[in-house]
Every structure is written in C-alpha cells, then in structure tokens.
Amino acid sequence: MPHTSPNSHAARLQTDFDVVIVGAGPGGLMAAEVLAEKGYRIAVFDAMPSAGRKLLQAGRGGLNLTHSEPKTDFMQRYGEASGLIASWLAEFDADALRQWAAGLGVETFVGSSGRVYPVTMQAAPLLRHWLQRLKAGGVRFHMRHRWLGWDANNRLIFEQAGGRVVVSAAATLLALGGASWPRLGSDGQWRTLLENRGIQVSPFQPSNCGFNVPWSPVFQERFAGEPLKNAVFSFTDHHGQCWHKQGEAMLTQNGVEGSAIYALSAPLRESISAQGTVTLAVDLLPHKAPEALLTKLAKPRGKQSLASHFKRCGLSALQVGLLREVLTPEALQDAQQVVKTLKHYPLPLSAPRPIEEAISTAGGVALSELDDALMLKKLPGVFAVGEMLDWEAPTGGYLLTAVMASAKVAADGVDALLKSAQGQ
C-alpha cells in the first residue's frame, strides 16, 4: 500500500496519549473536548502556529455560531446530504451549540435574521476560553506540525522545524478542513495522502463564493465596493428548478458576492458548470410596483438632464450605473424599457471566483467512504470530520453547527472503538 516514509533522522515523540487529532479548527477541538471528557489522553497536531485561525477570521464581522430557525427548515439547508447530516444534528444541534457556548461563559442572542451570535459578537473570547478548558482537561497541542501521511507501520508522520516526527496512537481523527482560505491552514493538501490509501475524494469546488461579472471599466472604477441592498435575485437552474433569494450583495472589481449570492452559490456553480453561464434576474426595486415606477419615469422631464430625472424618480447612482451597463442611450429614454430592466435586471455570471476566496468548499472525502461513526471503512481506526467531507451548507451558522456535530459523532465513534478493543 502506498505510504510516506520518514527520513532516517526522524525524531520519535513519546506516545503517551490514546488519540491523535490532526487539525485544530472547530471540528478537531470539539472532538478533543468530547474525548478528553471521557478520560482519554488527547494530542492535537496542526500545521499552523495557533489553533482556530479560520474561526477567528469568520468572526471578524461577528461570529455567526448557528441559526434559530425550526429544525425542519434547518435540515433542508444541507441539500443532498441533509439525511446524513440530520443524524449528526440529532447528536448535537443548534440548541446544544448554544448551551455549549454558555458553558464557556459565552452568552448568545438571536439577531433579526434568525442568526445566532455571541453577545460580544467576537470569536476571540470564545476561542480563548475553549482552549483554556481543553488544556486544563489535559489536551496537548503540537502546533507547526504538518501532517505528511503514514509510514510503513501505519504511524503518523509530521514535519516540524526540528525534522520529522513519527507518532502512533490507538485511533486517529482527521479534522483538516476543506480548501478555502489556505493561508489559514485549510489548503486541501491532505487529499493526495488519502487518495494514496484508496480513499475516494471528490474535487474541491468553491462554496459560499462570489462570481465573475464582466463589468465595464467605468463601472468598476465607480461602483466596485458598493452594496446592492434589498434586491431579489432569481434564476432557473439547469434542472429547471427556480431559485429566489432576497437580500444584499456586494459589487466587486471582478463581479458580485455577499450573503444573497452565497445562499445561491451551490446551484449557481452547478448550473454554470453544466451550461457555461448563468444570468441572474435581479429585481432592483422589489418594494415598488412596475406601474408606480412607470408613472414616475414617464413624466415629461422638460429641460432636466436624464441623470437628474432618474434622481428625482428615486433611483440611486448605483441603480442608474447598472442601467447604463445594459441599456443603450436610446433605451434609457424609454420609460417602459427602464422599468422592465429595474424589475428584471440581467446579471451575467461567467464563473465562480477562485476557491482561495471562497468562504467554504464543496467536495472532499466521499460520504460513501465512511461508516455511521465517520470512520473510514478502508482505514480502520481513522475518522474524518467537518469540511474535509463532501457536503456543503450556506452561511448562516449551518456550516459551523454541522462541523461541530460531525466531531461529536466521530468522537463517540472513537470512544466506542477503543472500548471495544479493551473488551468493555
């Protein structure tokens, strides 16, 4: 079986622990907590200098822990994987996550959108309290250790400043993340290591991502960075299913991103892959009826400039800029054509933005490779959790909740495996 061999100068780490966890993100930390509470000796390894770096990045604008919507609606956010993830959430759901945060001294509240945040809105205090509790519980951290695979004796190999380290344990739990935000540690380089062991890994794709739009240079210069608020985004995917999302988007130098776009990113990505491009229909003024708009816009403007006329009719500079992107000067004089465009603005999307810019990724370890406890069927004693598995979820706390839930399930699986090996 293919493997990675340590060099002849490899150092040996004392193996006075029961479980090795590779990855110090939320999934790895949750698994460490569950197993430490059961009395196991836990070692957490990570290539980065500190733990939870992506969690801290996600919390820069306010840490969205989970969502308060009804469980039935919550489950549907996971698409094709919703059946499996429902079994994870049966073990650790949104309410359990809020109780867990409260146990760390972090109180939460439900925002106007239904999203759940810490009262402080910050990730750093939660992570700090969490790491303190883990260390007090005996969890040992080995940072700046990059996992390189296994040696011929199925021992884990890590690269660190002093050379290679060989580690063995009764069980291994992998919590290595996907392939987004590689500078924070989730670079997806583990894919080859698992494929070399016969594990099927689906290609990584951007999720919760922005999309390219061919803006004109004039529009880019003036409006990149402007928010498009209170719009409704609609399209029909390549299967004929209609999608709608009301919310906010951000216009960027290269295209469009933001919460409303992220919510549609999976079907948009798949439809672009199937048919080349997708045109989003955007209602720029969803709270205004076409008839009322037409009445205003059709009024004689006299000596007023067209720009002043549009402003008097309540259109913003951004809305007028968007109109100029798609309408000829002649069409801009036609009130009916302007109203039609404001209510059904054609936004052409040519491709997702690069995976390095995405909030999360689709793809990863095929779910068929795992048993119900999230152990790899072809690698007994090796478990995998979180974003490194092939599922995805929109922003809104759904991703973090399922990552934590998968870690709880896998940690319980590790516990069952070790107890079985001990004849308990």
Q: Which domains does the chain have, with CATH numbers?
A: 11-207+360-421 (3.50.50.60), 211-349 (no CATH)
The pLDDT tens digits for 114-156 are: 999 999 999 999 999 999 999 999 999 999 999 999 999 899 9
Which stretches of the chain drop beneath a pLDDT of 70?
Answer: 1-15, 424
pLDDT of 4: 45
Structure tokens at 203: 């290609």
The pairs formed by 16-19 with CB atoms below 8 angstroms and a separation of 24 or more are 16/41, 17/41, 17/42, 17/43, 17/140, 17/169, 18/42, 18/169, 18/170, 18/171, 18/418, 19/43, 19/169, 19/170, 19/171, 19/172, 19/173, 19/414, 19/418
Give yes or no for a contact between 127 and 55, defined as CB atoms under 8 angstroms apart. Answer: yes
The pLDDT tens digits for 199-254 are: 999 999 999 999 999 999 999 999 999 999 999 999 999 999 999 999 999 999 99
DSSP letter for 376, please: B
pLDDT of 1: 37
**In sequence order, what are the residues at sequence separation of 6 or more whose Cβ sits closer than 8 angstroms to the Cβ of residue 187?**
179
pLDDT of 302: 83
Residues in the chain, overall count: 424
pLDDT of 10: 54
